[in-house]
Amino acid sequence: MISDLKGNPWQARPLLALAYRVYEECAARGSAPELASLR
């Protein structure tokens, strides 16, 4: 899957946005303090 995304940055964008949202949720809940410190 990663190799497919390498050639097409437009495909990777939604995945990155989704991952960012998930990390934000975890950080907001305090389950990922190391991620919260990255803000």
Tell me the domain boundaries of the chain. 2-36
- Token representation of residue 34: 């190391």
Q: State residue 20's pLDDT score.
A: 85
Q: State residue 4's pLDDT score.
A: 56
Per residue in 1-39, pLDDT (tens digit) is 555 556 666 566 888 888 888 888 877 887 656 655 655
d(CA 33, CA 29): 9
Contact 28, 35 (CB under 8 A): no
What's the full length of the chain, in residues? 39
d(CA 26, CA 38): 13
Quickly list DSSP for 13-37.
Answer: HHHHHHHHHHHHHHHHHTS-HHHHT
